[in-house]
Amino acid sequence: MHYTKVIVGTILLVSAMLAFSIASSYYLSHSASKIDTHIRNVEANSRADNWTNANNELTNLEKEWEKSSRTWALLIDHVEIDNIDNSLTRMKEYIKAKNSVLSLGELANLKQYVNHIPQKESFNFNNIF
């Protein structure tokens, strides 16, 4: 009877951990793809020198990031979040200055920062070893 309790408790604990891991992994990739969509919109407008739209998209991107970053802070190293924050700050200034070269470079940088998080947290052979 006691062993049954221990075994059931252990199975529940493992199940809860697995569920949490899968859910957090799914959340990270889902929110990263949302942010990525906004980054691509900013990028398209920057390429077309459409700075008003680029600014509007940037506002949407910031809102999306603000929403996601609170949960991300519970799941990933805070250095990663600081990197994205810094990149966003730089990009805001480049778009304000209507500098397409610098803003496109920073956008590529930001895209890399955002998209490598789900890759880093995903369950695969490379990440295990």
Interface residues with other proteins (CB under 8 A)? 3, 6-7, 10, 13-14, 17, 20-21, 24, 73-79
Tokens 């957090």 -> residue: 24
Judged by beta carbon, residue 24 or residue 53, the one nearer other proteins is 24
Q: Taking the chain, what is the end-to-end CA distance rounded to the nearest angstrom?
A: 39
**Amino acid at site 84:** I
Identify which of residues 1 and 101 has a Cβ nearer to other proteins in the complex. Answer: 1
Between 63 and 116, name the residue whose CB sits nearer to other proteins. 116
What is the nearest approach in angstroms of other proteins to the Cβ of residue 88? 19
Q: 100 near 44, Cβ under 8 Å?
A: no
Supply the minimum distance, in Å, between the C-beta of residue 113 and other proteins: 16
Q: Give me 3's structure tokens.
A: 């062993």
**Buried/exposed code over 80-89 (b: 16+ C-beta within 10 A; e: otherwise):** bbebbeebbe
Smallest distance, Å, CB 10 to other proteins? Answer: 5
Q: Which residues contact 124 (CB under 8 A, 6 or more apart)?
A: none
Tell me the closest approach of the beta carbon of residue 3 to other proteins, in angstroms: 7
Q: Which is nearer to other proteins, 10 or 50 (CB)?
A: 10
